[in-house]
Structure 1
């Protein structure tokens, strides 16, 4: 199979049926707490593979996982915000998505090749510097080591920094850790690679799932949840929970 040929949301235009497949993939993924650890040896081997194929400036890896069931005719779509710097991904109706202005954000390897299960609102990334054989070589590695349900391929955020992933009702938010109070990391979920002194290198912890220090996610299970229909709603709710630092307050 030509694993790099025609990946929806990466080097192939998206169709609505691709979104439906993404929803189905996401809803079959386990929670991150149910996933085994990714071996350090595999992470370092992947760093070598990414650097060798000049893919490290565009892609990283992600622990494939889900947090809730995405409703019918919706898919997770992320949007970046600057104040505070973050990425809010929420279940978004198919009809509200401009398929010409989104790309796949996290992909898993299926029987039919790589397919996204989460999206990002911006044009497809520039893949011109990535070796043409990268996806095929990555697919071979994931298959050989039984990692297809554990390791996802992620289009990385160009910004440096350590990010905390917090779970919201029907969504997640990735916040710069320096903007967050009262939360503790629970598990690393994202890895970036780079070249250091001419050698492949695994960057320090890039993305980490975090919870409130009381052991819960942002909102306690069973408690009433605020409506989070817009980013300002999310921002206000996190400030009310004293998780997000108020703008200008250190």
Structure 2
């Protein structure tokens, strides 16, 4: 077992994605010990080697896989201080054009992964407390056309956040969610590759630009920080105003 020290231990699901990479780089620079998790081995192992971190390949829709990996990390390091779920997907279709299979996949990638991470993280933190951070979307906070399935799934993440925050507050476990607007990452590439779509998407954000991975990563890092241990059950919009503000 790795001996406990003063450096926090964080488990990040979806670590090799655009936001995940930015977050892990920032956490590593702050001295955190990291376990990076995701479905694709090659980018995950490359990032882990760069940061001197552990990596584990897993499908976060599989509760047993998440339970096992998180428990193993907590055992290896002697504790777990933070768990972040960045697994997710984007589906832009109205309900009548969304197949049952697409809807179930959207729920699995976004809501089931979040629930599995809360379950595993809470088990690992019951005695020591810690911070669990999930990812929702501004589309679950305001009505955006063609976001029916993803808004439903990410709205569920918000409800999960509130209930889990209440359930685990007596154990010193904080549960919060970051709800971004559209962020310039590989996941958003199909939207941003079209010039008209990219221009329209940008115009929906009152601050006049799309998000950058660092914008979201900084908010997650803040929620992980034990200095902010009086914050729980919150949905933090990091969205250029998309979720609440209408551009002029």
TM above 0.5: no
Relative contact order higher in (CA < 8 Å, ≥ 6 apart) = 1
TM-score calculated relative to the size of structure 2:
0.27
TM-score calculated relative to the size of structure 1:
0.26
More strand by share: 1
More helix by share: 2
